Amino acid sequence: MTGSPSLMAEPPTLGQLDAAPALPRLLAGIPAHGAMGLRAHLELHGELPSITDRRSRRRRRRAESPLIGWIEQAGLRGRGGAGFPSATKLRAVASGRRRAVVVINAAEGEPASLKDRTLCRALPHLVLDGGELAAQAVGAEEVIVCLCESALASIESVATAIEERARAGATRTRVRLQTVPNHYVAGQESALVNHLNGGPAMPTFTPPMPFEQGVGRRPTLVNNAETLAHIALIARHGPEWFCQLGTDSQPGSALITLSGPVAHPGVYEIEHGASLSSLIDAAGGSSARAAGALLGGYAGSWIGAELLVDIVLSDEHLAPYGATLGAGVVLLLSEEACPVAETARVARWLAGQSTGQCGPCINGLGALAQTVAEIAGGVAAAEATQRVARLAALVQRRGACGHPDGAVNFIISSLQTFSEEFSDHARNGPCDACARAAELPLPAQSSTISRVRGRAYTR
């Protein structure tokens, strides 16, 4: 494809493109090791378009960037887990009075998710293109890429790519890289902004939200790395192209991190609405029967074994099962594992990942993890399940961020999906499978969270 025009006011119509609408889109040409360099990236995807409306130059008032309209037509939603409409967010930041800042969120604190660091490691220019375009759209001059401090290969790739772009004069914004500590909540929007402002990587009380007052008290656009990668392609190929894949309610493609008993676990690109079976096939097929699938990561929900064969990967389809794709995490649990032991382990870890800023979270998640552990060990009191339900109701929506709600969602879903196994453990104690090596991935070590407070003041 010869270079697209550098100034575009209208999106390209389908007739102009010879790019096939099929997969892979984001992952096209992804190298197995190292990164795709700038030249190869431009050869594959074409020049980075500059999306402005020629007419707005003559108007004194700053008009909205056409790119925001394209993103709205494309129906793009955030890929960080919350699924917030991207155009709405861009508009909110663009309408701020002070100059905006763009933050590319590749912190990826979810242990079972690898997509963002993979994108940054292998296709940094796609992500950086998205950041550049978003900066243009919201009137920002600064782009900050946030990566987990333990994602060394990704950090190196992005740093190199930033330098490459600076040398080639390919960027009009100041781009810098900032590492964040390796813990679960560090990638939460307000925690990220807090960290960038020199504070700890811990969530803050909102309002004000980052889009109103974020880095340096400026309107800040915090977007997931994958979301921006999609924007980089929407800007080149247009919203119609984007919608050629996916469903009506969830257009486009998405990255999924698939782990568990499959031949080749890893990051895959699907179109929304693809079946779970086709994803497993693409990953080389199952290596063991699955007892269930955890969708959305450790804030997500389980789908039991008997339902897996019909599962279609779109939020619309998953809603009746009480699940969402979240940040595109699909964790299969083999039949050989003990779901009770796994749940207890993850619940303990989630409790430990509380920053300790909010009493209900640190106390509630601790008590929940304790109760689940007791059930798993067969030493729980008779009303343990009621206790879990009471604690869950007590903890929800009483923290400053979504962490306690996510943890509660996970634990309740585990108890419901594996109710037989939990009853069995409550009566008879640990099973043979409890001693097996853990399947659900947790980080070997997290950075220390400097606890603030959170002691229980009993009356």
**Lateral strand order in the sheet of 174-180:** 174-180, 142-148, 101-106, 220-224
Among 52, 277, 398, 443, binds other proteins (CB under 8 A): 398
- In the complex, the smallest distance separating the C-beta of residue 278 from other proteins, rounded to whole angstroms, is 40
Contacting residues for 446 by C-beta, under 8 A, at least 6 apart: 181, 182, 183, 184, 353
- In the complex, the smallest distance separating the C-beta of residue 149 from other proteins, rounded to whole angstroms, is 24
The footprint of other proteins on residues 195-214 (CB under 8 A) is: 203-205
Q: Print the binding letters for residues 399-428 with other proteins: x by CB under 8 A, - otherwise.
A: xx----------------------------
Q: Print the binding letters for residues 328-367 with other proteins: x by CB under 8 A, - otherwise.
A: -----------------------------xxxxx-xx---
- In the complex, the smallest distance separating the C-beta of residue 383 from other proteins, rounded to whole angstroms, is 15
CA distance 427 to 65: 62
For other proteins (CB under 8 A), the number of binding residues is 20
CA distance 242 to 373: 46
- In the complex, the smallest distance separating the C-beta of residue 209 from other proteins, rounded to whole angstroms, is 13
As a 3-state breakdown, the chain gives helix, strand, coil percent values, each rounded to 5, of: 45, 15, 40
- In the complex, the smallest distance separating the C-beta of residue 57 from other proteins, rounded to whole angstroms, is 30
**Residue 448 interacting with other proteins (CB under 8 A):** no
Query: Would you say 210 or 328 has its CB closer to other proteins?
Result: 210
CA distance 417 to 67: 43
- In the complex, the smallest distance separating the C-beta of residue 407 from other proteins, rounded to whole angstroms, is 15
Q: Which token pair is 426?
A: 């409550």
DSSP secondary structure, 313-354, as one string: ESHHHHGGGT---TTTEEEEEETTS-HHHHHHHHHHHHHHT-
Q: Print the binding letters for residues 312-331 with other proteins: x by CB under 8 A, - otherwise.
A: --------------------
**Residue 458 interacting with other proteins (CB under 8 A):** yes
Query: Would you say 435 or 456 has its CB closer to other proteins?
Result: 456
* Dihedrals phi, psi of 405, to nearest 5 degrees: -65, -40
CA distance 364 to 406: 13
| Residue 57: DSSP 8-state | H
Q: How far is CA 303 from CA 113, 331, 343, in A?
A: 18, 10, 14
Query: Would you say 15 or 207 has its CB closer to other proteins?
Result: 207
Query: Would you say 81 or 360 has its CB closer to other proteins?
Result: 360
**Residue 459 interacting with other proteins (CB under 8 A):** yes
Query: Would you say 204 or 343 has its CB closer to other proteins?
Result: 204
364 HSE (CA, 13 A, CB side): 24
**Residue 449 interacting with other proteins (CB under 8 A):** no
Query: Would you say 57 or 459 has its CB closer to other proteins?
Result: 459
Query: Would you say 204 or 223 has its CB closer to other proteins?
Result: 204
CA distance 38 to 217: 33
Name residue, tokens 């980075």.
Answer: 48
Q: Which residues pair with 274 in a beta bridge?
A: 313
Q: Which token pair is 67?
A: 């790119």
Whether 327 and 117 have beta carbons less than 8 Å apart is answered as: no
**Residue 99 interacting with other proteins (CB under 8 A):** no
- In the complex, the smallest distance separating the C-beta of residue 202 from other proteins, rounded to whole angstroms, is 8
- In the complex, the smallest distance separating the C-beta of residue 364 from other proteins, rounded to whole angstroms, is 8
The footprint of other proteins on residues 144-173 (CB under 8 A) is: none
Among 32, 382, 435, 456, binds other proteins (CB under 8 A): 456
Binding site for other proteins (CB under 8 A): 203-205, 357-361, 363-364, 394, 398-400, 452-453, 456-459
